[in-house]
Structure 1
Amino acid sequence: MFKFSKATKDIIVVGFAIFAIFFGAGNLIFPPWIGQLSGSAWFAGLMGLVITGIALPILAVVAVGNGGGTFKDLTQPVAPWFYKVYNFLIMICLGFLITHPRVGAVAYETGVRTLLPNVNQSILQPVALIVFFGLAAYFSINSSKVVDKVGEILTPILLVTLSIIIGLAIFRPIGAPVDTGIENAFYSGFINAYQIGDVLTGLLCGVIFINALKDKGYGPTTEKLGITTLLKSCLVAFTLLTFVYGGLEYLGATGGSLFEQGTDQTVLLIGLVRNLGGSLITYTLAICVVVACLTTSTGLMSVLAGYINDTTKEKIPYKAAVVIVAVVAVIQAMGGVAKIIVIAGPIFMFVYPLSIVLVLLGCFKKFIPNDGIWKGTILAASIIGLYDGMSIVSAIAGFSLPSGLTAAYNAIPLASQGFAWIVPVMVFGTVGYFISKNNEARKSNKNTA
């Protein structure tokens, strides 16, 4: 028997907790899709996926720790109002319109529809979604531990099932990666992994892991011991996520040629698994996904209802807020995963550049000389992100952005590679530094005069 020290056990426990929070069942659908898009360039696609889908979310937890322990603390150098606006955007746009309803849609399309393929889908879908979100609402209102306990059992089963799938994909692949004609697989993986949405999860939920370490006696995360332990726990989560997402991305690359490009993400996942392991493993995965999505929905519903309750100063009671969240989720999820992904695209393209900048600023906070750098970089990232989001909206809606604006954007270095935000962030950050430095000098001179 292996004997671990208390510190090692704590690192592993918190590492698994970080993994469990990040690994929502809804995330299963994106790695195979990225693999199919990448084809023979699957490794480049995987590197892009690893950066935005795994590394940055993990670093977001570290950034929160460095930034003071909460997301609110992290954003203070930008402006006092920034936290409220950014948090509102995440809660309303991502929570209500995207992340939460997507969980239910994935539970139905990947789980229920797979288990009951012969039932009339026009009847099954609304019934299944009402029951699904109704159960999540019940558990949220009653603070029941039933779902948590079931999740503790189902999550290991889901991991074992995925390990079998990944093992089969590696040692008994259903095909070979083919050239899909993709021009930049790395950028495709980088951008499409935005849809996983875990950078936002890391920023908002980082406090959970930090408090867990404090409860275990590691003190404030600003102390070396706390930060070191947090980093090691994050490494555990990074390893597990890379194994799961990497295996699923490779599965999509090796079996993607069996499906047409543009195949619905949930249809692709189930089709790949069925070709790989047959009906038994497909049904096992479907059951695990439904329950895993239910546990995720319960947590999200509690957070969103609590946000409504707090922001309305309890004018909307918590139970009423839960009902509101459930109703909105059913309506949104009825559109299906594909529709939700279309809605998510512009919002994620706007939010992610500034989220990435926040993460990097938080990780290197002690090396940043003044708040002007924070203000300048966030402003630049927001401007570029707004253009990126609007460009997707214009493509969907069929209108063109002003030609002058498009020309100016295309003139930015690295814009053609999809990283237009990098140079403006550096320039605006530098300008912000000097403005803040000059303001501090003026205040100092006035005080000494």
Structure 2
Amino acid sequence: MQEEIKDLNKKPLSIKQYLIVGSMLFALFFGAGNLIFPIHLGQLAGANWIPAALGFLISGVLLPLLSVLAISITRSKGVYDIAKPLGSGFAIIFLVLVHATLGPLFATPRTASVNFTVGIQSFIPHQYVQIGMFIFTAIFFIATFLLAYKTSSILDSLGKILNPLFLGLLFLSFLLAFIHPMGSASTQAISASYQHASFFNGFLEGYNTMDALAGLAFGVAVVSAVNVLGKINPKSNANATAKAGFISESLVGIIYIILIWIGATSLNLFKISNDNGGTTFNQFMGHYLGATGHALLATLMTLTCITTAVGLASAFAQDFNKHFPKLSYHQWLGLNCIVSFIIANAGLNLIITWSTPVLMFLYPFAITLILLSIFSPLFKRDKAVYMTTIIFTLIPAFFDMLVSLPPMISHLSFIQDLIKIEQNILPFANIKMDWILPAIVGAIIGLIIYKSKNKH
């Protein structure tokens, strides 16, 4: 029983210990994508950047923290355990979808493509951009494979040096942006989709960070770090994780707010970028720090992105080797790096175009599983509660995926007919939040079933 587990360390954790765990959480969540999506959101929202930022903070900051707490409260060891109450079959499918999204299909190739777009591309003549990306991504993923082949403390030490340097460069540019702003955020144009639903669009934009999924996949590392500090009771572990998470996510939140504001002010000088913020971030750094800023950014971003890629690639290989042992860790790792290299060369825009519908389908399940896990002590992780909630979430999540598919598919007549039917039946379908009410109804039905079983 959870109540019978006593902490090895009954003293409160020190500030230094909280900072150590907090920095680990920050490294877990903050990557290249976390720089470009907020600044792009600011450009889209314009004068409505504040409500858009609030929505983004919920899905990009609060949800990732809750995902780590879900791991702690349920004493899970990763994605599979979080979904296990629904049965081993569903848990395997969910694990494959999450790790494929974080791994070779989207997040891992994005570490290279964002890095190239933001840090390297400005140094290469336009006619050589494609070959430049090919060479860069080949070197990038060879380095990723070699570093992840046998992980060592060297990479962790490198991250401890590089992250502060990168943050220092980032906050220097932030300081310059405050002293000499590019324009007034409150007077900038608002794109059509952000004129009436800026909060919800900001919330959906936060899906692109994939941090809630990352929390489910890698949160066990943070929980284990708190265990090492002597907090092994689930309640005290979750409490310590929450406090450390508040430290790290406060920093992430501050960075997001500043980047969203910068994105809005940038409209005074630059057009909305067509690559989801990569070009704008490059323009922003060049505006304040010139060629020196570009060179520093390229160097630091390349090194920090490799550390992120190594973490994603090794986690993918470890979990897939555990559940599909016919291939070794090194074989899964090599497969991941090869596929990531191929997809990275498709370009950042194409990666984001196809990742969006997958995230629109996957995130409602992740959110419901996170919340069910956090409240699971109330119903002892009963399968009925999980099952009814997920079943009621399935159909609207599927329709949200259809709406988000590229126009060449989503504009097909039979898909448009299905979407119209769904939008006439489900509330909030027009803002892609139609899964919320069905999920609540499913949870209520599951709780009624659970209570009735207990009475009998």
TM superposition score normalised by structure 2: 0.89
* Counterpart in the other structure of 1:179: 189
Q: Is the 8 A contact 1:409 1:415 kept in 2?
A: yes
The equivalences for 1:124-135 within 5 A come to 124-135=132-143
Q: Post-superposition shift, 1:210?
A: 0.7
Q: Post-superposition shift, 1:134?
A: 0.4
Q: Post-superposition shift, 1:227?
A: 2.4
Distance 1:272 1:154 in 2: 21
Q: Which amino acid aligns with 1:214?
A: N
* Counterpart in the other structure of 2:271: 260
Distance 2:157 2:46 in 1: 39
Residues 1:229 and 2:240 are matched in the alignment: yes
From 242, 254, 259, the equivalent of 1:248 is 259
From 317, 322, 341, the equivalent of 1:305 is 317
* Counterpart in the other structure of 1:364: 375
Residues 1:65 and 2:79 are matched in the alignment: no
360-369 vs 231-240, which moves further: 360-369
* Counterpart in the other structure of 1:149: 157
**RMSD, matched Cα:** 2.1
Residues 1:29 and 2:40 are matched in the alignment: no
Q: Post-superposition shift, 1:405?
A: 5.4
Once the two structures are superposed, residues 181-212 of structure 1 have per-residue CA deviations (whole angstroms, 9 ceiling, x without a partner) of 43222122111111110000111111111110
Change over 3 Å in CA distance of 1:278–1:363 after alignment to 2 = same
Q: Post-superposition shift, 1:306?
A: 2.5
Distance 2:13 2:239 in 1: 15
- Using the aligned pairs only, state the percent identity: 28
SS, match of residue 111 in structure 2 = helix
From 155, 160, 168, the equivalent of 2:176 is 168
Distance 1:132 1:285 in 2: 16
Once the two structures are superposed, residues 318-371 of structure 1 have per-residue CA deviations (whole angstroms, 9 ceiling, x without a partner) of 333322222111110001111100010110000011111112222222334744
Once the two structures are superposed, residues 212-240 of structure 1 have per-residue CA deviations (whole angstroms, 9 ceiling, x without a partner) of 011111123x13x3222111101001111
Residues 1:136 and 2:106 are matched in the alignment: no
204-213 vs 386-395, which moves further: 386-395
Distance 1:290 1:410 in 2: 47
Distance 1:63 1:317 in 2: 29
Once the two structures are superposed, residues 159-196 of structure 1 have per-residue CA deviations (whole angstroms, 9 ceiling, x without a partner) of 11111122222332112220224322212211111111
List alignment gaps of at least 5 residues for structure 1.
445-449
342-351 vs 266-275, which moves further: 266-275
Change over 3 Å in CA distance of 1:144–1:31 after alignment to 2 = same
Change over 3 Å in CA distance of 1:62–1:124 after alignment to 2 = same
424-433 vs 74-83, which moves further: 74-83
* Counterpart in the other structure of 2:212: 199
* Counterpart in the other structure of 1:383: 395
From 224, 231, 235, the equivalent of 1:211 is 224
* Counterpart in the other structure of 2:360: 349
From 298, 319, 337, the equivalent of 2:348 is 337
Residues 1:41 and 2:48 are matched in the alignment: yes
Distance 2:368 2:137 in 1: 37
* Counterpart in the other structure of 2:434: 420
Q: Is the 8 A contact 1:162 1:244 kept in 2?
A: no
Change over 3 Å in CA distance of 1:76–1:311 after alignment to 2 = closer
Q: Which amino acid aligns with 1:428?
A: G
Distance 2:418 2:336 in 1: 42
From 44, 53, 60, the equivalent of 1:53 is 60
Change over 3 Å in CA distance of 1:78–1:411 after alignment to 2 = same
Change over 3 Å in CA distance of 1:234–1:89 after alignment to 2 = same
Query: In the comparison of the two structures, how many residue pairs are matched?
Result: 435
Change over 3 Å in CA distance of 1:240–1:93 after alignment to 2 = closer
Q: Post-superposition shift, 1:80?
A: 3.3
Distance 1:78 1:317 in 2: 28
Distance 2:292 2:112 in 1: 23
Change over 3 Å in CA distance of 1:419–1:208 after alignment to 2 = same
Distance 2:291 2:220 in 1: 41
Q: Is the 8 A contact 1:110 1:266 kept in 2?
A: yes
Change over 3 Å in CA distance of 1:157–1:427 after alignment to 2 = same
